[in-house]
Structure 1
Amino acid sequence: MNTLLVMLGGGFGAMLRYVVGVFIMKRFQHPPIPIAMLIVNVIGSFGLGLFLGIFFRELDPIIYESPLFLLIGLGFFGAFTTFSTFSVETMQLLRDGKRKHALIYVLLSVSLSILFFSSAFFLTLN
């Protein structure tokens, strides 16, 4: 049952990531860094922070036993955000000799994702 919950949430998360990514790429056709995945990952981190803050109020490993977390936290947000695509895009920038762009992309992706997650999570605790 747990696997089915993760699969269901993951299917919706991956589908939405694709739709949002295509939407953003059509608006920003030749950005210096992969803006679509940056935005998706930051939105996903914010959403996960809100979700965890509202429904669990803490970051305890016990949440992995919750069907709600498996469906939404691990499944949906796990598939909506993507570290693998981030890695590929970073390597493409490096391959193309755009080291400065790669560094900016990495720093923005990691710092903004953590900032937005923690902001959303702590916002719900007040």
Structure 2
Amino acid sequence: MNFLLVSLGGATGAIFRYLLGLAVMKRFSSPPFPFAMLVVNILGSLGLGVFYGVYYGAIPLGSYGEPAFLFVGIGYFGAFTTFSTFSTESVQLVQKKAWKPLFCYISLSIIGSVMMFVLGFATMKEL
């Protein structure tokens, strides 16, 4: 059952990541850095923070057996956000020697994702 929950959540998250990425790329066709993945990862971090705040009211430890965590936390948001694509796109910017876009992309991705997670979690925990 756990594999099914992770699989269904992952499939859903991957589809939504793909659709959001397409929408962002359509709206911003020539950004200076991989803007679509930045948006996806920041929104995914916000969403995971909101989920933790609403469902747990804390950062869960040892919740690998809970159905909601398996579906939403691991499956959906695990597939929605992507560190591997972030890494690939960062290396592509290095190969192009696009240092300023690289710095912006890495900084905004890491700091923005952490800040949005904290914002989502703190906001929902208080409700």
Q: TM-score range by the shorter chain?
A: over 0.9
Between the aligned partners of 2:59 and 2:65, the Cα distance in structure 1 is: 13
Partner of 2:46: 46
Structure 2 counterparts to residues 73-88 of structure 1, below 5 A: 73-88=73-88
Between the aligned partners of 1:13 and 1:52, the Cα distance in structure 2 is: 17
Between the aligned partners of 2:16 and 2:95, the Cα distance in structure 1 is: 29
Partner of 1:65: 65
CA shift, 1:105, in A, is 0.4
The one-letter amino acid of 2:50's match is L
Deviations 1:33-74 (A, max 9, x none): 110000010001000000011001111312222111000111
Partner of 1:110: 110
What TM-score results when the alignment is normalised by the length of structure 2? 0.96
Partner of 2:92: 92
What TM-score results when the alignment is normalised by the length of structure 1? 0.97
8 A contact 1:56–1:63 mirrored in 2: no
When structure 1 is superposed on structure 2, of 96-105 and 33-42 the one drifting more is 96-105
Deviations 1:4-53 (A, max 9, x none): 11011000000110010011001111100110000010001000000011
The one-letter amino acid of 1:38's match is L
State the SS of the aligned residue for 1:32: coil
Which structure 2 segments of 5+ residues have no match? none
Partner of 1:25: 25
Report runs of 4+ in structure 1 exceeding 4 Å deviation. Answer: none
Query: How many residues are matched?
Result: 126
Deviations 1:81-111 (A, max 9, x none): 0001000100000101102211110010000
The RMSD of aligned alpha carbons is 0.8
Between the aligned partners of 1:64 and 1:116, the Cα distance in structure 2 is: 23
The one-letter amino acid of 2:77's match is F
Between the aligned partners of 1:47 and 1:74, the Cα distance in structure 2 is: 12
